Amino acid sequence: MSETILEVRNLVKHYSAVIAVNGISLAVPEGMCFGLLGPNGAGKTTTIEIMEGILEATSGEVRYRGAPLDQRFREEAGILFQKTALQDFLTVRQSIRMFRGLYQSGLEVEEVIRLCALEKLADRDNRKLSGGQQQRLLLAIALVNDPKLLFLDEPTTGLDPQARRNFWELIQSIKARRKTIILTTHYMEEAELLCDEIAIVDGGRIIAQGPPRRLLHEHFAEVMLELPRNDFPARARELPLQVIDTPERVEITTDDLDRTLRLLIDSHVPLANLRIRPANLEDLFLKLTGKELRT
């Protein structure tokens, strides 16, 4: 088993009367991509910023390779915040070079530029980049020190679908370099695609943790049937089905598809818009909290 690179014990963070993080503990083994999954306001960013040493916890502790966060941690960690501005008037290359100068060791500037596919943008003013390009630059900056541990806080929020997919490919190529990655996200596809293990966070607490497939397997032996709410009459609610309501649709969880379909047909529920799919992390979150991830 890999050595634990980062460990968090009983983390609590209060903002006046608000409890943003309420007793989170976790351990991240070296080489793993670990995801904190949860809706906005769940406490993901507060948790990751305490893990990064940017925020101070009200109580609890964070240990990097068994020791409190120190100068070694700063030399070996790479961070991509949710929102970061860079210095005005600097080109992409100059911005990367500036950050490279802050570390004792790391990658060559040109290598980082290649790694993040920024070759054609290297001499462009960093303010004149699109959202996806800007994120690639910030990722490049997070990689200049060739970090052992990389924090990515909602790295694809605000990107269009194509830019998001490109960014995922980039992160997968970094994963292939055996980097430990801790990322927060509220995109279930992102967590499913990138993370070896996830912790689902809600109300400042971890409500489930484990590899995505194992979590889904533990909570869902079933498939999901989705119907528009308007197609699901009141009489159908009396059927012996496990139904979850969302604002636009009803979701029926079942391990006996034939029987469920028969029940719906017998109740004259229109099935023209029926969709059948396997359960995903969104369903898991909904099942555990009764809320949707993207709220």
Partner 1 sequence: MMQRLVSVWHARNLEFLRDRATMIFTLLLPIMLVVGMGFVFGGKERPLFKVGVITQSLDKRAHPFLSERYVEFVPIANQAEGLRKVTHQQVDLLLDLHGAPRYWVNTDSPKGYIVEKLLIASAPDAHREPVTGAAVRYVDYLFPGILGMNMMFSCLFGVGYVVLRYRKNGFLKRLHATPLTAFEFLSAQVLSRLGLILFVTIVLYVGIGAIIHFHNAGSVALLLLLAILGALSMVALGLTIAAQFSSEEVVGGLLNLLTWPMMLLSGIWFSLEGSPQWVRWVASIFPLTHVLDAARAVMLDGAGIAQIASDLVYLGVTAVVFLAFGAWSFRWRYD
> For binding to partner 1 (CB under 8 A), which residues are involved?
52-54, 71, 74-75, 77, 79, 81, 83-90, 94-95, 97-104, 141
Q: Is 102 or 276 the residue whose CB approaches partner 1 more closely?
A: 102
Shortest distance, CB of residue 61 to partner 1, whole angstroms? Answer: 19
- Residue 116 to residue 282: CA distance in whole angstroms: 30
Long-range CB contacts (< 8 A, 24+ apart) of 18-24? 19/204, 20/46, 20/204, 21/46, 21/47, 21/50, 21/57, 21/204, 22/203, 22/204, 22/205, 23/60, 23/204, 23/205, 24/60, 24/199, 24/201, 24/204, 24/205, 24/206
Per DSSP, the three-state class of 44 is helix
Per DSSP, the three-state class of 104 is coil
Q: Is 52 or 202 the residue whose CB approaches partner 1 more closely?
A: 52
Shortest distance, CB of residue 77 to partner 1, whole angstroms? Answer: 7
164 token code pair: 């998001």
Q: Is 86 or 286 the residue whose CB approaches partner 1 more closely?
A: 86
12 token code pair: 């609590």
Per DSSP, the three-state class of 7 is strand
